[in-house]
Amino acid sequence: MVTAFGTVTTEPLDLAAHEAAVADRRAGAVVSFQGVVRDHDHGRAVSTLEYEGHPDAAEVLREVAAEIGADPDVYAVAVSHRIGPLAVGDVALVAAVSTAHRAAAFAACARLVDEVKARLPIWKRQVFADGTEEWVNCP
């Protein structure tokens, strides 16, 4: 049985907790990823971000985790996305995957992050150092 979970939260994300959640005695590889708020975007200085999520965002995240977990090479999947105000250096997305071998773990984690970025109904408001702002990934 594959362990797959996904959550959307306002709380800080914990990479170690995600890695522990995918621990499996059969696993020879655990690959994890952290999406961190950076201080720039397209040459503009960013001061803060705010993520806003659709009410279905948590369900979509769980669906994506389950789909990646359906891969017969994957033992476990854990993924979380933070919403609310975040500062530069804060973690916005954490993903972890376990498999028997490293190539499968890297591939599964990359698919997980790509699918989350493509499908998750969470929008980002960037506030720039000059006081201007923009919304990103809005429908």
Structure confidence at residue 125 (pLDDT): 96
Q: Which of 43, 35, 112 is nearest to 78 (CA)?
A: 112
**Rounded to an integer, what distance in angstroms lies between the CA atom of residue 39 and that of residue 111?**
26
Which pLDDT does position 1 carry in this prediction? 57
The pLDDT tens digits for 37-87 are 999 999 999 999 999 999 999 999 999 999 999 999 999 999 999 999 999
Encode pLDDT of 79-133 as tens digits.
999 999 999 999 999 999 999 999 999 999 999 999 999 999 999 999 999 999 9
Q: How many whole angstroms from its chain centre is CA 121? A: 12
SS3 state of residue 2: coil
pLDDT of residue 131: 94
Locate 50 and state its tokens: 């705010």
The residue type found at 13 is L
Statement: residue 139 has pLDDT above 80:
no
Q: What's the predicted TM-score (pTM) here?
A: 0.94
